[in-house]
Amino acid sequence: METATAAYEITDYSVMPGVECPCGIARRGLMEEPSVPYSLHLTQIEMNAKRHYHRRITETYFILQCESDACMELNDQRVPVRPEMAITIHPGTWHRAIGRMRVVIVASPKFDPADEWLE
C-alpha cells in the first residue's frame, strides 16, 4: 500500500482496503508515515453522511465526482458542490456531505477517530 524512502512516499489507493466512516467508505493514506503531517483520504459517499465535527482537525474536501444535486451542509447551511471544487472545514464546524460523491479529503493534523464528534 505505502512505500517510504528518505525522499518520498508512494501510496496506492487501488489496493488499500476501505473502512466504514460517517461519510461512507474511506481509504485513509499516510496515517502511519511520521514525516507527513496530514492524512489523505479517498472517500466514496453513497448516501447522506452523518453530521459531525472535529475539535482539532481541519479537513479539505476536494470533489472528484458528484451528483448534480450534491451539497455540503456546513453549520446548517447547504452549499452546492461540483467537481473540482474544494471546501476547507475548520475545527468546530458541523458538517456532512449530502448526495453521492467521490472526494479526496486532506486531514491536518492526521485523522484521529477520537476527534470525530457525531451529533
**Rg of the chain over all Cα atoms, to the nearest angstrom:** 14
Query: Are the C-beta atoms of residues 86 and 60 closer than 8 Å to each other?
Result: yes
Entry pTM: 0.91
Task: Look at the domain 21-111 and name its fold.
Answer: Jelly Rolls (2.60.120)
pLDDT in tens, 9-47: 899 999 999 999 888 999 999 999 898 999 999 999 988
Name the residue ranges covered by the structural domains of the chain.
Answer: 21-111
Nine-digit cell string for 60: 479539505
CA pair distance 71, 78, nearest whole angstrom: 6
Of 4-8, 23-27, 93-97, which gets the smallest average pLDDT?
A: 4-8
Query: Are the C-beta atoms of residues 59 and 66 closer than 8 Å to each other?
Result: no
Q: How confident is the model at residue 64 (pLDDT cuts 50, 70, 90)?
A: very high
Q: Residues 51-65: what's their mean pLDDT?
A: 97
